[in-house]
Amino acid sequence: MGAMSERYSGLVHRLRDAVLGTSGVTEASLRAAVEARAAGLGGRPGVEPGVPAVLSTLVDKVAQQPFRVTDGDVQALRQAGYSEDAIFEITASAALGAGLGRLERGLAALKGAV
């Protein structure tokens, strides 16, 4: 079972770095906080990140029920001063976090740690 997690660890690391570690219109610390919040909702234990309240609705929806994200959610962030590029980066960070949280939880279950 360990071979499966090792097989993809390099790809996961590169993906995480591409979303969180490169320059963007949002601060890397914000993207990391969004990723951590979504990962916690996706199953990562012990996460208590600080995400601005205005982003919570979008991040939580992307992490738990992405099909419920509406134009109104995006418009609310636009009215709060976020650009379309910033909203994209926040959404990508949330999706990454949700996926990684589930991956980590699944791998822990395979190891019997859940």
pLDDT digits (tens, 9 = 90+) for 28-60: 999 999 999 999 988 887 766 689 999 999 999
DSSP string, 5-70: HHHHHHHHHHHHIIIIIS--SS-HHHHHHHHHHHHHHHT-TT------HHHHHHHHHHHH-GGG--
| pLDDT score at 3 | 56
Cβ count near 91 (within 10 Å):
21
Q: What is the pLDDT of residues 78-94, one digit of tens each?
A: 999 999 999 999 999 99
- The answer to whether 26 and 11 have CB atoms below 8 angstroms apart is no
Tokens read off for 17: 């770095």
Whether this prediction's pTM lies above 0.85 is answered by: yes
| pLDDT score at 110 | 84
**1 has a pLDDT exceeding 50:** no
Q: What is the share, in percent, of the chain residues with pLDDT greater than 70?
A: 91
**4 has a pLDDT exceeding 60:** no
Higher pLDDT, 72 or 4: 72
CA distance 91 to 30: 12
- The answer to whether 64 and 41 have CB atoms below 8 angstroms apart is yes
Q: What is the mean pLDDT of the chain?
A: 89
